[in-house]
Amino acid sequence: MWTTSPGRSWAVQAAALASWMMVLGLGACGSGGTGGPKADGGEPPVTSSAGPLCATRDPGPSPLRRLTAGEYARTVHDLLGGDLLDVSRLPPGERALGFDNNADVISTSDLLVGAYEDLAEQAGDVVAGNLATYVPCAMSSPDAACAARFVTDFGGRAWRRPLDASEQAALASVFADGATAGGFAEGIARVTAVMMASPQFLYRAEPGAGASADLSGAVALTPYELATRLSYLIWGTMPDGALFDAAASGRLATQADLAREARRMLGDVRAHAVVSTFHAQWLGLDKLQGLGKDAVVYPLFTPALADAFAAETNRFVDEVVWNREGTLAALLTAPYTFGDATLAAFYGLAAPAGGGVGLLPTGGTQRAGLLTQGAFLSVYGKANQSDPVHRGRFVRERLFCTTPPPPPQNIIIRPPDLDPRLTTRQRFDQHTSDPACSGCHQLLDPIGFGFEHYDGMGRWRDMEGGQPVDGSGTVTGTDVDGDFDGAVQLAGKLAQSTEVQVCYATQWFRFGYGRGETDADACSLHDLATAFVTAKGDVRELVVALTQTDAFRYRRAGDLP
């Protein structure tokens, strides 16, 4: 059962309150650096300033969402019963705040719309070429009534709700024109293409069901709109029959209904793809594709190794979330990973017992959790050296949700040159000795230096520049301040941080709702974070909690005509 506002325990609320100040605020750099320099008159960073905590319930904005390339592919798969279209031609979605589904920045150009059109026609040809499968009535009576039945059934699934009379009529007329031009199959091909090129398929328009009875200024969503929100949130694809049935029979009305469906859906393998996508984008692992290293410094770093890293982290997330502990803490600290003999050798571990890819216990001294895996370490590693600044920045930005301001304009920003006599830490000394740099880098480097036992491709090292590696570091300005030695210890700290849990929930908010958080979302974010903390960082419970917020259940009345 889900705790909503009245049921929050004070302890959790206090912890979450403390973290809002940090999570929603800007990272301050030294003295007077709050807000950071604004580059060339630019706007302040998107992270909003700390505001009053959940003063007014508000669903926040609900910008029109379009299926991402991945959602499009999965939806077409479910709709047509196979990977029957050349979806690879869809351009990748715009990336903002790490995720490829941010509705505020989607672009619409001839290239994309033309691809939608061509794919819709391809779908029409697939359907028309397999009438027995898709339009069974065509076998006995290929007529307008049969076409109308097809439009009702296929259209209801493609548009994720029953079609209204005017839509039925418009599509009947498309069929009739096609049938006149080229016979029954041509009519079916055209009407299929129209359905799949229409906004009801490509976008997630939500006209809503009128003013909400329980939240003023809000519009309630229709059961089908909620079913669609659920299915794309949890599965990244269209609703299944059970979800359509729940919508049709009024079983998506309450928070408990939504939680029940969410739990059912999390038990389906389709949920794995979304959880996998979230973590890959949160960690920036798509950068592994095409990532190159200096072949002289890192001859071991090949495309095959990069692929192995990507597969490792993906499998690890899958196992932790679905088969093992299920928590953020385990993602950060689990003393095991998955790989084959080659990967095991790279990590200095024993090959998996049964051959092939298997469980690799790490012992938890050199490796434990996502931040000690090759994928993270090589993406956040330079081509020829480690990268304490960006590793530290990742922790600040993606784990604490604080945004260090950019370096000042018109200074030379460069990684220090390689010097065989010095360690990376020594070479980055300028950051702390030069006052122009030290303000911000004191937030980044003392965390990033904790990763110094891993080189630019993630291999463990005890020595660098002829000297022992110093992997010690310090966390400041958080709820887990203090010194640590090495990334495994750092991960242990992060796993205990409420702020990190709140930030992880905020990342899911951005990904799950396809937008950045705003001041108006304070209550939704608070409910989300509270539920996650209460559930001791259980990732599946966080996904369920995403279905319980005002942001999920309503939209603003002012956003509709």
Partner 1 sequence: MSHFLDDRRKMSRRTVLRAGAISLALPFLDVMRPRRARAAGAVPKRFVVMFTPNGTIHPSWVPSGTETTFTLSPILAPLAAHQSELVVVDGLYQQGGGGDGHQNGIGGMLTGQMLNPGPFQGGANIGAAGWANGISVDQEIAAHIGGSTALPSLELGVQVGSADDWGRMIYGGANQPLIPEENPALAYQRLFATRGASPEQLVALRARKKSILDAVQEQLRAVSTRLGASDRARLDQHAAALRDIETRLDAQAMPSMSCADPGGPVLPASLTDNDNFPAIGKLQMDLLAVALACDLTRVASLMWSRSVSMTRFTWLSPAVLDPHHDLSHKPDSDTASQDKLTRINTWYAAQFAYLLDRLADAQETDGTRLLDNTLLMWSNELGKGNTHSRQSAPYVLAGRAGGALRTGRFLTYTGDPPHNNLLVSLLQAMDVSIARFGKDDWCTGPLSGLL
Q: For every residue of 279-347, which 3-state class applies, written as one string?
A: HHHHHCHHHHCCCCCCCCCCCCCCHHHHHHHHHHHHHHHHHHHHHCCCEHHHHHHCCEEEECHHHHHHH
Nearer to partner 1, 45 or 335 (CB): 45
Contact flag: residue 14 with partner 1 (CB under 8 A): no
The one-letter code for the residue type at 194 is V
Site string for partner 1, 244-273 (x = CB under 8 A): ------------------------------
User: Where would I find the H helices in 106-240?
Assistant: 110-129, 131-134, 144-158, 165-182, 184-197, 199-202, 223-234
Closest CA to 510 of 61, 132, 14, 51: 61
Nearer to partner 1, 296 or 353 (CB): 296
Site string for partner 1, 498-527 (x = CB under 8 A): ------------------x-----------
Contact flag: residue 50 with partner 1 (CB under 8 A): no
Contact flag: residue 381 with partner 1 (CB under 8 A): no
Site string for partner 1, 540-559 (x = CB under 8 A): ------------------xx
**Per the structure block, which two tokens stand in for 20?**
């809002």
- Which part of the chain contacts partner 1 (CB under 8 A), choosing from 61-69, 363-371, 450-458, 542-550? 61-69
**CA gap 399, 104 in Å, rounded:** 23
- Which part of the chain contacts partner 1 (CB under 8 A), choosing from 14-22, 168-176, 238-246, 264-272? 168-176
Member of 35, 78, 117, 366 binding partner 1 (CB under 8 A): 117
Nearer to partner 1, 250 or 561 (CB): 561
Only one residue has tokens 């945004």, namely 403
Member of 137, 205, 311, 422 binding partner 1 (CB under 8 A): 205
Nearer to partner 1, 17 or 105 (CB): 105
Nearer to partner 1, 39 or 139 (CB): 39
Member of 81, 129, 183, 199 binding partner 1 (CB under 8 A): 199
Member of 7, 82, 104, 345 binding partner 1 (CB under 8 A): 104
**Cβ-based burial of 83 (10 A; exposed 0-12, middle 13-18, buried ≥19):** exposed
Q: For every residue of 512-532, which 3-state class applies, written as one string?
A: HHCCCCCHHHHHHHHHHHHHH
Which residues, 6 or more positions from 455, have their beta carbon under 8 angstroms from its beta carbon? 298, 381, 385, 386, 461, 464
- Which part of the chain contacts partner 1 (CB under 8 A), choosing from 104-112, 237-245, 253-261, 533-541? 104-112
- Which part of the chain contacts partner 1 (CB under 8 A), choosing from 146-154, 162-170, 318-326, 488-496? 162-170
The one-letter code for the residue type at 489 is Q
Only one residue has tokens 């351009």, namely 91
Contact flag: residue 165 with partner 1 (CB under 8 A): no
- Which part of the chain contacts partner 1 (CB under 8 A), choosing from 198-206, 341-349, 470-478, 489-497? 198-206
Which residues, 6 or more positions from 279, have their beta carbon under 8 angstroms from its beta carbon? 285, 313, 314, 317, 331, 370
In degrees, rounded to 5, the angle at the alpha carbon of residue 409 between the alpha carbons of residues 405 and 411 is 110
Nearer to partner 1, 48 or 496 (CB): 48
Closest CA to 92 of 289, 327, 245: 289
Residue 151 near residue 168, CB atoms below 8 Å: yes
Residue 98 near residue 398, CB atoms below 8 Å: yes
- φ and ψ at residue 555, rounded to 5 degrees: -135, 165
Q: How far is the CB of 503 from partner 1 (least distance, A)?
A: 14
Nearer to partner 1, 358 or 407 (CB): 407
DSSP label of 101: T
Binding positions for partner 1, 413-432, rule CB under 8 A: 413-415, 417
Member of 31, 140, 166, 433 binding partner 1 (CB under 8 A): 166
Contact flag: residue 155 with partner 1 (CB under 8 A): no
Member of 167, 257, 325, 470 binding partner 1 (CB under 8 A): 167
Q: How far is the CB of 268 from partner 1 (least distance, A)?
A: 29
Contact flag: residue 110 with partner 1 (CB under 8 A): yes
Nearer to partner 1, 64 or 350 (CB): 64
**CA gap 503, 20 in Å, rounded:** 9
